[in-house]
Amino acid sequence: MRNRNFSRFLPLLAILAVAFALRVSTLGLQELRGDEAFGYFFSQQSYSQIVTETLRLGEPHPVASYFLQKLWSGIAGDSEFALRFVSAWFGTLAVALLYRLGRSLALPRSAAALAALLLAISPYAVWHSQDARMYSMSLALTIASMWLLVEGLQKERWTLWVAYGAVSLLALYTHYFAAFVLAAQGVFVVGMMIAAPRKRAACLRWLVAMAAIALLYLPWLVFASSILSGYKGAGDSPGIVAMVVRSLSALTVAVSVPSSQHVAMALLAIVLVAVGAVTLARRSSASPSEPWSPRWTLALLLLYLLLPLAASWISALRRPIFDERYLITASAPFLLLVAAGLSGDPARTTRRLTPGGVARLAMLALLLAAMLLSLQNYLTNPAYSKSRGWRSLAVALDRLAQGMPAAQVRLVQNYPDPTLWYYYRGPVAHTVLPPAPQDSTGAGSEVERMLAEGVSRVVLVEQPSPAWDDDGIAASALAQDFTALAQVDVGQWPLTVYGRAEPAALTPASIAFANGLGVTGYLVEPAGGRESITPGGVVVVHLGWQGPPEALASPTKVFLHLTNEAGQPIAQRDQLLTSADLSAPVTSYAIVVPDSIASGSYRLLLGLYNPDIPGAPRVQTSDGLDAVLLAEVEASRP
């Protein structure tokens, strides 16, 4: 008997193993996205600060997930794997809970198992299970709340209602949209009180539980009321038809398919839900007197699916808060309805494959194929990665800052994306320009502060930020006191290296050229001698020029060459010399060191040439040389 009971649960255990493996095997592969990094830094505060900062900043999510992340990261650390493991655990738990909910709703074992399997491989669920945010936690808690509600209505035990109240309250403290699930429950229970008088005692227990939930949640609502009423949104408001299409497509295959396929996926979702609803309706008419009638299952699942979706859509019509991830709780009833339809009606099961059975198998095959293709895209196709390039960006910033004392360098973003500071753990301080949205005055003040602190090199990381820096405020503020020396593209980010030097910092020199121009001083960063240069870094040269403007009557270019021991140029910078350079105290240049540079000794050469003369002849120095050695440097590969 014991072996028979165990064998009944083997399929469920296999499904849970698949769910856990899909969520954990690549958990740390993809980089954190901005919201995940924000959540990590936000959770590093004390518990009281999390509460006060949530209210002060108008953070649109309650505090439960931040509390849990703080507790967990203190135990497991802050790697991507560790930060996301909580979501992976809740995502796996949701699979088990969905099976239990299906069985409590009197769905056949095959339908409950199919729903669990679909959730296990759902690209939408896997995406959120690999996301260090509260959505997977919200899914598990709302499923648990619904399961405890159904159990309480059937078994009428107070312990179930106590558990229901605790889980539902935690769900509300995890995400505000959990209230839509509780609202669906409320509509269902009120309907049950009217339609089934024998259930009124159980419904009254639900009222007591809801009163306790309201009492314990009301203080938070009072303090957070300004957030709920004043939140302007960070999503969009695309219109009702677009929201319906995007929502149903996301529930089916997430966002890891081309947008051109969204309508087809939404239509597939509608057909699958309709088949499930019809199947349950037929069962309801065939067995209306069961202890838990299929009509209750159908009514509850439709409310569970449609009320949260409709509430989300209506809310987004007034302000831009529509986002597919806010619909996570609707995935549970969606998959239960789909599974109810695709598993068929056990009462109608025959050994022969009927046309209806063939149609169900075809729809199941289509759904599985679409899910697995989307899952493959998410896991393997960079175009569908939730985030990419931050690790490479952190390495690039470290290289571009080398060769200088850390106190003299600043890393600057034109938008306060916290993800960079999760990945960059180097010694160089960072700041945001502008310090507030569209704050050009504040940006100027911040640059003045950097000058006062002796900063002579800045690396600007730019990203599209129309809500923060829509007119190049950061670049304009830096250009007032720094020179843009080089631009390096790292993935999607253009990095601009800015530099400056005081005339007193230049090493005096008497370099004279035959055309009357000369160099009175220079400074090389790294500072010459045998100091190391870094692959992917920069060599910055500051020069003091002198000479009559008429010496530039014909175009003259400055060249800086980094040559190997054989005299072959490895990297170079050529720039037109202007009359403004002759009058400026210091003119700055930079050579970007190739990533592929070999370890060894290199020479930094300076010279002039005439680009408009055939052959671009070099201008000789007064000593008859065509180039001047400024420094010898060493390149060393890490």
Please name every residue paired with 621 in a beta bridge, in sequence order, or none if there are none. 513
**HSE (CB half, 13 Å, CA atoms) of 52?**
5
CA 489 to chain centroid, in Å, comes to 21
Predicted confidence at residue 4, as pLDDT, reads: 63
Q: Which residues contact 286 (CB under 8 A, 6 or more apart)?
A: 345, 347
Q: For residues 487 and 495, is the Cβ–Cβ distance under 8 A? A: yes
CA distance 171 to 182: 10
Predicted confidence at residue 206, as pLDDT, reads: 94
Q: How far is CA 109 from CA 11, 14, 403, in A?
A: 11, 15, 66
Residues of the chain with pLDDT under 70: 1-6, 285-291, 345-352, 528-531, 638
For the CA atoms of 296, 297, 299, 302, the dihedral, rounded to the nearest 10 degrees, stands at 170
Q: Which residues contact 350 (CB under 8 A, 6 or more apart)?
A: none
Q: For residues 109 and 12, is the Cβ–Cβ distance under 8 A? A: no
Predicted confidence at residue 88, as pLDDT, reads: 98
Pick from 547, 597, 543: nearest CA to 569:
597
* Neighbour count for residue 6 (Cβ, 10 Å): 10
Structure tokens at 110: 């095959």
| Beta strands per DSSP E along 361-503 | 409-413, 429-432, 457-461, 483-490, 493-499
pTM of the model: 0.90
Pick from 167, 155, 162: nearest CA to 64:
167
Pick from 238, 239, 246, 240: nearest CA to 263:
246
Q: Map tokens 């967990």 to a residue.
A: 72
CA distance 181 to 333: 11
Predicted confidence at residue 529, as pLDDT, reads: 54
The angle that helices 240-253 and 355-380 make with each other, rounded to 10 degrees, is 90
Predicted confidence at residue 9, as pLDDT, reads: 81
CA distance 425 to 401: 13
Q: Which residues contact 626 (CB under 8 A, 6 or more apart)?
A: 607, 618, 619, 620
Q: For residues 30 and 382, is the Cβ–Cβ distance under 8 A? A: no
Pick from 306, 307, 309, 281: nearest CA to 296:
281
For the CA atoms of 394, 399, 400, 402, the dihedral, rounded to the nearest 10 degrees, stands at 130
Please name every residue paired with 412 in a beta bridge, in sequence order, or none if there are none. 431, 460
Q: For residues 94 and 140, is the Cβ–Cβ distance under 8 A? A: yes
